Every structure is written in structure tokens, then in C-alpha cells.
Amino acid sequence: MPLPHEPITIHGGCNCGAMRYRIDVPSFEQRPLHFVHAPEEASDPTTPRLPLICICHCNDCRSATGSILPTWCLTPQEMFTISCLPKEEDDDTAMQSLRIAPHDATDDAQRPPYVPAHGILSGVESTSGTWLRVFCSTNEKVQGWDVDKRIYRSFCGRCGTNIAYLVYPMPFRFRDMIDVVVGTVDRADMEQPWMQPERQLWHNYGVPWIKDVVKDMDGPIHPSFSTAEFIRR
Ligand SMILES: [Zn+2]
Ligand SMILES: [Zn+2]
């Protein structure tokens, strides 16, 4: 189900509370089209806007998230801010046995400020001093791309929760995105019916029985990342 048209904020964070984030979604008219669509497609109400919540069937997302149905909120980077608890220099204990911060937004006033995250999630700015960790999982030449393909996956270094995925730089001058792991969204927001994935991506690469699990889910199915190509409309 697509997001409601009025402005909303989606809240979430890692399992231990060291990472908290917000996705501040403007009203429908101010949301950009998905980056593969041309501006003239804005008049078509079926053209997807961002953020967009979808399932990815690709092998890379499955193993990186440890989930058979990785689900992403494809988010323009400027809508995403993060608050990371500081990590003391000598705090390298192998095991942390307590959830130290609450698992929802109740403690947000006591936290470090929420700041733009694209710089740190793309490895441009240092994450040192916080629990955030970034792993560049792919760095390869892809035929037809105008830049080397670099995929950054970020996670909490204290509890291990996978927070986000991004490609930087984006190919073909597509807008900078942060794809957020939907499983990290707070329960109160997750219960909203519009948090349900509205599409499936990379279907051509999926595992047959996993695709069967979600075959009756409403919404378009796409062979790869492009929402302009369809297996089912
Ligand atoms: Zn954590
Ligand atoms: Zn994927």
C-alpha cells in the first residue's frame, strides 16, 4: 500500500538503541518520482514516488540482511537523519548483555541530535566515536555503468542490526538514496497498513519457493530494480 499523501515521519532504530533514525516524508506533491522515471510521468498517478517500500529478491540483500524477504524503504537521502550513541575508545567488549536505550522514540530528547546521514553511511565521513559501522560490500566495474559500483551497508556495531543500504556514487546521476531496512521501523509505525511493501524488485533473481510465499501479495512485480519494467502490473 502506498504511503498516505500527508507528511509523515517514520521512526526506527537498531535492536539495542545505539542507532535511532527518522524518515521525514513530505506531502505527496513534494515527493520525487522514483529515479528511473522522467518528470513528464508525474501526471500518471501510477508512477511511483519516493520513499517507496518494497521487497527485494536479490541474493545480495538476502545474505546481507539475513532475511528471506528483505524489505526496504527506498528513501531520498535528504529525508533520512540518524542519532548515534557515542562509543568510548576503550569500549570493545565482545558482549553487551543489556538493551541500554529504549526500543522506541520515548527517549529521543536525551539522545545526540539527529543529523543528515548520507556522508557517514557512504563512507565519505568517519563513523569513529559512534557505534555506527559501514561495510563496502561491493566495489566492482559493472558493464554499462558510468561509475564503479560501490554498495555500502551500515549496521550497529554494538548489536549488529543492519540499518541501511546505499549505492554511492549513484550511476547515471540518479539522486542519492538511502535504502532503510524496514524491519528496523518502530512497532507503532510498523502497524500502519501503509508500511506493507507495495512492490517486489529483482524478482528474476529470486528463489522459487520464497517468491511463492509472497505471490499473492498486492502490487507490481519488477524483474530488477527498475520500476519501469514489469513482470506483473
Ligand atoms: Zn544497536
Ligand atoms: Zn537487493
Where does the pLDDT of residue 104 fall: very low under 50, low under 70, confident under 90, or very high at 90 and above?
A: confident
pLDDT (0 to 100) of residue 89: 72
Radius of gyration of the chain (CA): 18
How far apart are the C-alpha atoms of 185 and 113, rounded to whole Å? 19
CB 9 within 8 Å of CB 22? yes
Query: Strands 71-76, 177-181: parallel, antiparallel or unpaired by DSSP?
Result: antiparallel
On the question of pLDDT at 158 being above 60, the answer is: yes
On the question of pLDDT at 41 being above 80, the answer is: yes
Give distance in angstroms: CA of 222 to centre of ligand 2: 12
State the DSSP H helix or E strand holding residue 158, giving kind and residue range, or none if neither.
Answer: none
Percent of the chain with pLDDT over 70: 94
Strand ranges for the chain from DSSP E: 8-13, 19-25, 52-56, 71-76, 80-84, 115-116, 132-140, 149-156, 162-167, 177-181, 199-201
- Sequence ranges of the domains in the chain: 8-84+105-213
Over residues 168-201, the pLDDT tens digits come to 999 998 999 999 999 999 999 999 999 999 999 9
How far apart are the C-alpha atoms of 110 and 112, rounded to whole Å? 7
Give CA separation, 127 vs 15, 24, 87, 170, 214, in Å. 19, 22, 10, 21, 37
Ligand minimally distant from the alpha carbon of residue 65: 2
Ligand minimally distant from the alpha carbon of residue 20: 1
Give distance in angstroms: CA of 100 to centre of ligand 1: 9
- ipTM confidence score: 0.97
Q: Between 2.60.120.590, 3.50.50.60, 3.40.50.10890, 2.170.150.70, what CATH number should domain 8-84+105-213 receive?
A: 2.170.150.70
Ligand minimally distant from the alpha carbon of residue 15: 1
How far apart are the C-alpha atoms of 154 and 161, rounded to whole Å? 9
Neighbours of ion ligand 1 (CB under 5 A): 14, 16, 18, 156, 158-159
Ligand minimally distant from the alpha carbon of residue 202: 2
pLDDT (0 to 100) of residue 97: 57
User: Does 5 or 98 have the greater pLDDT score?
Assistant: 5
DSSP 3-state assignment of 6? coil
Q: CB atoms < 10 A from the CB of 154, how many?
A: 26
Give distance in angstroms: CA of 149 to centre of ligand 2: 14
On the question of pLDDT at 94 being above 60, the answer is: no
On the question of pLDDT at 102 being above 80, the answer is: no
Ligand minimally distant from the alpha carbon of residue 103: 1
How far apart are the C-alpha atoms of 62 and 75, rounded to whole Å? 19
Closest listed residue to residue 54, CA positions, set 117, 121, 2: 2
